[in-house]
Structure 1
Amino acid sequence: MMIDFVPDPGLYPFTSRWFDSSAGRVHYVDEGSGPPIVFCHGSPTWSFLYRHVVKGLRDRYRCIAVDHLGFGLSERPAGFGYTIAEQAAVLGELIDHLRLDGFLLMGQDWGGPIGLRATTARADRVRGVVLGNTAFWPIEPPANRAFSAIMSTRPMQRRILEKNLLVEKLLLGRTGPALTAAEADHYRLVQPTKEARRGLAVMPREIRAARPLLEELAREVPARLGDKPALAVWGMRDVVFRPEACLPRLRSSFTELSVVELHRAKHFIQEDAPDRIVDAIARRFP
């Protein structure tokens, strides 16, 4: 199924583009010119999350922001599993389709492992890496694993599918970023039905189910991308990917890592501190 929602051009002033991957039709934006940078969102967001960052960088970079299948305006294809491995394979197809070379990758939340999985296989074409509040290693903290277990139960899966729980409570709830009503609707209305939310329901399970992939990434990222210029833009108030646990792991994985601490930002850093992110990327990758 496809999503009928049409973004407000005042909030999302980009031309929609489409790629027919082997698994389904992918929506993305491709704005500006210059060195390419691929933006990967996590759950329960879509490329709308990067709107301020794209607007701030498209005068000097070619900004490509993708909606993973099951998210945003992309298709919800029958038979697709919505796993991290499957999403990464589709992203790799898009990168190859666009013939990107010398590109930057930015990933946040699940966009980190999705993007890194796609780029480790294309390391010779990667210019650098930008990561924000994510992990590419097995997720061990008890709170994260408890969240996965609870959200994977039948009652909570039903609430995700029927009540849009992850959007309404985690993104748009009181601990989420400050958004206008119109901005909130852009997150809410791209997940309009139970059938549209199947990808959302898979993501909490992947915290545990994707362990083999994350173990592989924990080895491959330092080996294949560890010598690339890297930037971490980190929301220091995030309780999902806590800086005291994650930043030392990043420093041990990349030999040329710069860290920008976003002291007032929580998990959704692109909403909380877009101007700081724009400035950090422009300074790190002039």
Structure 2
Amino acid sequence: MLIDFTPDKALYPFESRWFDSSAGRVHYIDEGSGISILFCHGSPTWSFLYRKIIGELSDRFRCVAVDYPGFGLSERPPGYGYTIAEHAAVVGELVDHLGLDQFVIMGQDWGGPIGAAVGTDRADRVRGLVLGNTLLWPTDTWPQKAFSRVMGSRPMQRQILNNNLLVERFLIAELRNTISAAEADHYRNVQPSPEARRGIAAMPGQILAARPLLEQLATDVPARLGAKPTLLVWGMKDMAFRAPAFLPRMRDTFTDHQVLELPDAKHFIPEHEPGKIAEAIGRRFL
């Protein structure tokens, strides 16, 4: 199943590209030239999340942003499990297909562990990382565990599938004073039906189900990526990834890190402060 939606060129002025991964047809964009940055989104977003940052960086960087299967304009393939490990495998296939070398990984939310899993398998080709409002280890905080269990329950799964709960009540509700109605529709219109939403519906359960992968990352990231230049970008008003609970361990994971605190930003930092993030990336990696 592919999504019948064409983004507005005024909002998403990029050429859509397609890659036939082992899981199905994947949508991505590849803009600009220079040092490559691989943008990995979280849930329930898609590559549209990074449009403003890419718009500011593509004159100096090669910006590659992918939609995982089940997200954005990518296929909803039959038999796909929508696990974090599967998403990382698909993104890794794209990285190898494009021949990315000495590239920077940017990951927000689930994009952090997905991008990190891609990077640990290709550590010699990773130049650095940009990580924001994410984690790289199994969660031990009760709010996240509770969120996973509640959102994975049958009543809440029905709300996600039938009423697009994650997009409406978590994404758009947070951004209601930040993005336009047309931009909000770009998040809605790529998840137009219950069948199309199976990918985002699976993600809350992955907070607990992806524990084996996250345990592996807790070991592999410090060992293989811990010395890479890293920019930690944090929305300080994010209630899901509270800075006091997550930033100290992030700092300890990377020996060569800088921190950009965004005092007024919540969870979806590329929407809240794209200019500050783009400026910080340029300073860190050029």
TM-score interval, smaller chain? over 0.9
How do 1:203-282 residues align onto structure 2 when only pairs under 5 Å count? 203-282=203-282
Runs of 4+ in 1 over 2 A off after TM superposition: 174-177
Please state whether the residue corresponding to 1:173 is helix, strand or coil. helix
* Letter aligned with residue 31 of structure 1: E
Corresponding residue of 1:87: 87
Corresponding residue of 1:188: 188
Q: Within 2, Cα distance between the matches of 1:40 and 1:273?
A: 17
Q: Is 1:284 aligned to 2:284, yes or no?
A: yes
Please state whether the residue corresponding to 2:227 is helix, strand or coil. coil
Please state whether the residue corresponding to 1:91 is helix, strand or coil. helix
Corresponding residue of 1:125: 125
* Letter aligned with residue 249 of structure 1: R
Alpha-carbon shift at residue 175 of structure 1 (Å): 6.6
Q: Sort the Cα spacing of 1:226 and 1:102 in 2 relative to 1 into closer, same or farther, 3 A.
A: same
Alpha-carbon shift at residue 176 of structure 1 (Å): 5.7
Please state whether the residue corresponding to 1:259 is helix, strand or coil. strand
Deviations 1:166-185 (A, max 9, x none): 00100112576621110000
Q: Within 2, Cα distance between the matches of 1:177 and 1:184?
A: 11
Report the more deviating stretch, 171-180 or 96-105.
171-180
How do 1:165-176 residues align onto structure 2 when only pairs under 5 Å count? 165-173=165-173
CA RMSD in angstroms, aligned pairs only: 0.9
Corresponding residue of 1:153: 153
Corresponding residue of 1:58: 58
Q: Within 1, Cα distance between the matches of 2:194 and 2:177?
A: 24
* Letter aligned with residue 222 of structure 2: P
Question: Normalising by the residue count of structure 1, what TM-score does the alignment of the two structures yield?
Answer: 0.99
Counting aligned pairs with the same residue, the percent is 65
Report the more deviating stretch, 134-143 or 266-275.
134-143
Matched-pair contact (CA < 8 Å) for 1:176–1:268: no
Q: Within 2, Cα distance between the matches of 1:6 and 1:251?
A: 40
Deviations 1:44-82 (A, max 9, x none): 000000000000000000000111110000000000000
Q: Within 1, Cα distance between the matches of 2:252 and 2:133?
A: 16
Q: Within 1, Cα distance between the matches of 2:264 and 2:39?
A: 22
Question: Normalising by the residue count of structure 2, what TM-score does the alignment of the two structures yield?
Answer: 0.99
Please state whether the residue corresponding to 2:95 is helix, strand or coil. helix
Matched-pair contact (CA < 8 Å) for 1:177–1:271: no
* Letter aligned with residue 112 of structure 1: G
Q: Within 2, Cα distance between the matches of 1:24 and 1:168?
A: 27
